[in-house]
Structure 1
Amino acid sequence: MPDASVAQLLGVTHSTVWSWRRELGIPSWKRQKGADQAGRRTQAKPFNQLVAQLSDQASVAVDVSHAPGGRRYGPGVRETSRDRQWTQDEIALLGTMTDAQAARRIGGISPGTVQKKRQSLGIPPATPAHRPWTPGQIARLGVLSDAELAQLVGRSTRAVNHMRNKLGVPSAREQGHVGAHMWTREHLAMLGTLPDREVGALVGLSAYTVRQKRRSLRIPAARPRDSWRNEDIALLGTMPDADVAQQLGVKPHVVTRKRHVLGIASTRPQHVWTDEQIALLGTMPDAEIAKRLGLSNTAVHKKRNQLGIARAHHAWADDELLLLGTMSDASVARLVGVCIKSVNNLRRRLGIPSAKAKGIKRKSQAVRRAKSDKMAAPVQRPMKLAA
C-alpha cells in the first residue's frame, strides 16, 4: 500500500514511513505496481514485511533512531548530526513565543529550523495554528458581514471569509442584504473626517467597504493627520534632510516639504558667487562652468537666468561632429560636455539619423535582402520516378 496509508494505519507521519522504507531497502508501492504491470518485478522485500516490522515497538524505536534525516519531526525523533548545537537557554525559548520570534531572538537561524527543533522535542507552539470554530460562530456566518463577525469573534476578515466559502454559505449581501451593515447617521458622519481604515475599525468594516461607501456619497477622503511632533520639528535644519528622514523613518522628500512649509533653511551652505565666477556665465556652457566651480548644472543655470545672461553655444569641433549618429545622444552629450537637447537639435538640423534608427534600418535591409535572395533562389522540384 502507499506510504500515506501505512502512516495513517500506524499513526505516524508520511515522511517517517518513507525514511523507514528507504532504510529497509523496500521500493515504493507505486514502483512495485509498475514493475508488476511491466513484468519486471524486482526481488525486493514484500511491503507487508515493513508493516509487520513497524508494528513491533522495539523495531520501530531502532529504526527511528537510525532514520536518515526526516523532514517531519515528532516526539522521540532524533535529529541528525548536521543540525546545530542548541544551548539550554535557546531550548528554553521554544514554545514561549512564536517560532519567528524565537528565530529572531536566537539569530542566524530560520523559523523553520526553530519549528523542527520544537517539534522534535514535543513542545507545543505558543499560539495554536488552528482555532476551532464553535457552533455559535458557524451559525452567524452569512448572518453578519464578514468584517462584523471577524471583529466579534476576534478573527481576521480573511479567516471568516475563507470559512464561509468553505462551508458554502452565501454572504449577507448575497442573501438580499439580510444582516448587511446598516449605516447609521453616526457612522455616515465619520466619513471624510477620519481615514477609511480608522472608520472601518470603529464600525467593524474593512477599509475597502468604507472607501466604497464614501465614494458613493461623493465625500472626499480625510486629509492625513499631521503626525509631526515638536521634537521632530526641532530636528529640521539641524542636519541634512536625508539624515532627518532616516532618523524619523520617512522619505527625504517628506522632510524637505515640511521644512519648506515652515520656512526653515537647509543646513547645506549657500554658494556665494564672486565677481570672477559671475563673469564666467555665458562665456562657456553651463556644464563646463559647473565642473570648474564644483557646482551642479542646475545651480549654474538658475544663476545665469537670474542675471538674464544668455547661455553660450558650444563650438562643435570636427571630431565632435563625427560622433553624431554613431552613439546615443546621451553618450555624445557626456563626452562633449553639453546637454542632450543640444546634441539632439544639432543632429536633426544636420539631417543625421540616430544610432538607434541606423540599427533598425540595417536590420530591415538585412531582412529584405534575405527575402530577395530566397525568392531569387531556384526552386528544386522533386523528381518523378518512372512508372
Structure 2
Amino acid sequence: MAERGMQLLFLVDATGKKNHRLKRVLNRDAFPKELTNKKRFMSERAQRKSNSHKLNEIPEAVILQLGKRSDRDLSVECGISAYFLKQKRLALGIDQFKRGVYPEEMVQLLGKVTDREVGEQFGYHIATVCALRKKMGIASTVKPATTPTQTPNAKKREIVKLPQELVSQLGVRSDQDLSTEFGFTLHYLKKERKARGISSVNVPKYPEEMLSLLGKVADRDLVARFGYSSTTLSILRKKLGIKRHHKVWTAERIALLGKIKDSEVAALLGGAFTKGSVGQCRRSLGIPICRGPRNGAPTALFLSLSRGLTSGKMEALPSAQPGETGQLTQFPLVPGSEANSFQA
C-alpha cells in the first residue's frame, strides 16, 4: 500500500505534452477484497482496535461520578479521554448527564452549608450552586461575621486631638505652614479647620504693585514686567471686577493721522495700535491716507519724531481715558522699551 496505494498519472496527448488533469488510481490490493469502501474499512479497523484494558483501569471515584457530571468535565478533571468515559458509562448502563439535573445529595445540602463548600464537594462552580439555590428559593447560609475586635490585624483610626496652640492659629496662618511646623498632614488640617467653621487665610498671590496697575496699563506690559501670562492677568482682572485698559485715540494721536504713514503711526505708538487699527480709525474720521515718498522711504516728520523720541527731548504722547482728551497720564514703563510712552 505504501508503494502502490496512490499513483498520480499524467495523461499525455498526441502532441507529447503533459495534461494538467490528474487521474487518481487507488491500489485496491492494499484493502481486503470483501471491502470496496475505504470508509468502511477505516471504521471497522477502528472497531477492531481493542481498548478494553483501559476501561478496566478507570478509578472507582470517577465511575461514581458517571452520569452525574458530563463526560467532558470528568475528562478534564481526571485526565481520561471522554471517549473512554462514555464507553464505560454505556457498558454500565448509566444514562447521559443532563444539564439542569443535579444530584439529590447536593440539593439536600443547599442552605445548610455555604455554596462554596457544596461546589467543592460535588465539583460545581460556586455561581452554579448559588443560581440553583436562588431558583429553589432557599436562603443562603452565612457564616457569623467577625467583629473588628476579634480581628487581630484590624487597623483602627486613632483620633488625635490638635494642640490648642495649633487650633488658635487655624485661619490665621496658611495650612501649609502649620502642617510643616506641627507635623500634621495638609489634608487633616484642612478637614479639622472646615469642621470648626474656620475659613482659610487669604495669602496674597500677586504683587501689590501689579494689582494696582491692573486696568491702568495694557496686560501685555504687565506680562513683560512681572512674568505672568496674559490669560492669568485677564482672569485675575475679571475676578477683581476691573475692566481692561482701552486703547484711546487722543487729540494728539489723531493729529498724526494723515501726516505720516499708518505704519509709522503704529511704530510711534510703540505697538499699542496695529497698522490696520490705525487705518480703520483714519478712515472713520475721513482723513486721507499719507502715502509718503514713492521709493518707500520714511516721511520726514516720522524721522523727526523718531529722533526726538530717541534723544529724549520729545514729550510723550498723552494716554487718556475717554473724556480726558489731552490730559497727560504717565505710568511705570517697561524697561528697555523706548516707545512705551506711546502705548495704551
Into which bin does the TM-score normalised by the smaller protein fall? 0.3 to 0.5
TM-score (norm 1): 0.30
Larger Rg: 2
> Higher RCO, 1 or 2 (CA under 8 Å, sep at least 6)?
2
Question: Comparing both structures, which one devotes a greater share of its residues to helix?
Answer: 1
TM-score (norm 2): 0.33
